Amino acid sequence: MSLIKGGVFVATLVLVAAGAMLWLRRSRVAAPVAVSTFNPENMSDFKKPDPELLKKKLSPEQFAVTQRGETEPAFRNAYWDHHKPGLYVDVVSGEPLFSSQNKFDSGTGWPSFTRPLAGVDLTERMDGGAGAPRTEVRSKLADSHLGHVFDDGPADQGGKRYCINSAALQFVPVLELQQAGYGPRLTPFVAAGLVPKPALESAILAGGCFWGMEEILRQIPGVTKATVGYSGGQTTNPTYEDICTGRTGHAEAVELVFDANRLSYEDLLGYFFRMHDPTTLNRQHNDVGTQYRSAIFYSNEEQKKTAERVRATLDAAKKFKRPITTEITAAARFYPAEDYHQKYLVKNPGGYNCHVLRD
């Protein structure tokens, strides 16, 4: 190959690669196809998946019980002898149904409850399939078959026995309720002394593409809410297209709400520095521009001092090959990003992501 042809070949490869990267970045602008996902904060968002998708999501037993009305074996199921504090939710939709505080041992071999959660309306209908009339109970949102309700429950608690299949339920431990979006259901557990009242604080962090950041941060124990958006700039009500120009001054960021009883701000920053490269100025891997800078937007003096101490400690320990360039600045207004950006990697598994939590 001649030098001229070789140069043309190399130049072509460079142009193709540049074009591919430009396409990759531009492809992030288009909103993906809407996906039905249960959101505890807005239960009306749920749409029941079609049977083929449910077969992939559920185990054969879960599908048989919730969709075909079958009954699992007594004494050979997950929750008949389960006593941990928390909520039991619909395995299909995530709709909260029953509390451990209303669970009792009926001796039947199936999970039994004296009542559903306050404000939860179950669908009841007559079922004569077992040779004798029974009252079937189904969930409201997903229309899942749950089990049956009988009039032989504890008399001092209303006399009802909700006999429910474990396969229709998913258990959410009390310590995970806030993070899973069921925070409003915590009050009875707090009143019973089973869990301390959450001490909620907020933080705003930036470290490159907010899709990957959110996916890691939202799963940290103690984080109760993660919202992706824009912060640190001068443009009012910026759009994603505005941000992509790099001229708004904003960084792609994640606003977090966390329970300080379970996760300290210092420990949160420890995760933050482990999940991105804080040494590349205005860049995170292939994402280049001020909108991808590493930044901690503090909301009070205590957060500022903690951030400066953590950054200085890491620099002194030479945890990274280059000096840390992370900006530490007072939090300005945070603008939530467009809805299709929220939980993007949940809606689009395998989507663009340049973040990983290092050891």
Q: What is the pLDDT of residues 256-312, one digit of tens each?
A: 999 999 999 999 999 999 999 999 999 999 999 999 999 999 999 999 999 999 999
pLDDT digits (tens, 9 = 90+) for 185-194: 999 999 999 9
Query: Mean of the pLDDT values across residues 312-341?
Result: 96
Closest CA to 190 of 176, 179, 174, 201: 174
* Residue 10 banded pLDDT, cuts 50, 70, 90: very low
pLDDT > 90 in the chain, percent: 78
CATH number for 83: 2.170.150.20
Residue numbers annotated as active site:
163, 209
* 130-159: average pLDDT: 93
CA 319 to CA 117: how far, in whole Å? 49
Q: With CA atoms as reference, report the closest residue to 294 among 309, 310, 277, 311.
A: 277
Q: What is the pLDDT of residue 133?
A: 83
In a domain? residue 352: no
Q: In which element (H, E) is residue 189 found?
A: helix 187-191
CB 334 within 8 A of CB 229: yes
pLDDT, averaged across the chain: 88
Compute the distance between CA of residue 342 and CA of residue 348 in angstroms, rounded to an integer: 11
225 & 142 share domain: no
| Residue recorded with tokens 């090959």 | 321
Region 333-345 average pLDDT: 95
Contact 303, 265 (CB under 8 A): yes
User: Taking residues 65-79, what's their average pLDDT?
Assistant: 97
Same domain (yes/no): 170, 210: no
pTM of the predicted protein model: 0.73
Q: Which segments of 51-132 does DSSP mark as H helices, in order?
A: 51-57, 60-68
What token pair was written down for 119? 């404000």
In angstroms, the CA 278 to CA 137 distance is 53
Read off the CATH number of the domain in which 242 is found.
3.30.1060.10
Say if CB 29 and CB 239 are below 8 A apart.
Answer: no
Which structural domain range is residue 277 located in? 200-347
**Overall number of domains in the chain:** 2
Per-residue model confidence as pLDDT tens digits over 16-60: 343 443 334 433 433 333 323 466 666 667 888 899 999 998 999
Q: Indicate if 221 and 154 belong to the same structural domain.
A: no
Residues 139 and 64 occupy one common structural domain? yes
Q: How many CA atoms does the CB half-sphere of 25 hold within 13 Å?
A: 21
Amino acid (1-letter code) at residue 111: P
Q: What pLDDT is stored for residue 26 in this prediction? A: 35
Residue 222 lies in a domain: yes
pLDDT of residue 39: 65
In-domain check, residue 14: no
Q: What is the pLDDT of residue 33?
A: 33
Binning pLDDT at 50, 70 and 90, where does residue 359 land? confident
Sorted by sequence, the CB contacts under 8 Å of residue 316 that are 6+ apart come out as: none
Based on the domain organization, do 52 and 90 belong to the same domain? yes
Phi and psi, residue 241, nearest 5°: -60, -40
Structure tokens belonging to residue 154: 């504890």
Strands 294-298 and 327-330: parallel
Mean pLDDT within 178-201: 92
Residue 17, pLDDT score:
40
Structure confidence at residue 127 (pLDDT): 81
Measure CA 277 to chain center: 23
Of 144, 176, 208, the residue at which a domain comes to its end is 176
Contact 206/269 with Cβ under 8 angstroms? Answer: no
Per-residue pLDDT averaged across 164-182, rounded? 93
How buried is residue 310: exposed, middle or buried, by Cβ count under 10 Å (0-12/13-18/19+)? buried
| Residue 194, domain member (yes or no) | no
228 shares a domain with 170: no
- Give dist(CA 57, CA 66) in Å, integer: 12
- At residue 14, does pLDDT exceed 70? no
pLDDT value at 129 more than 90 = no
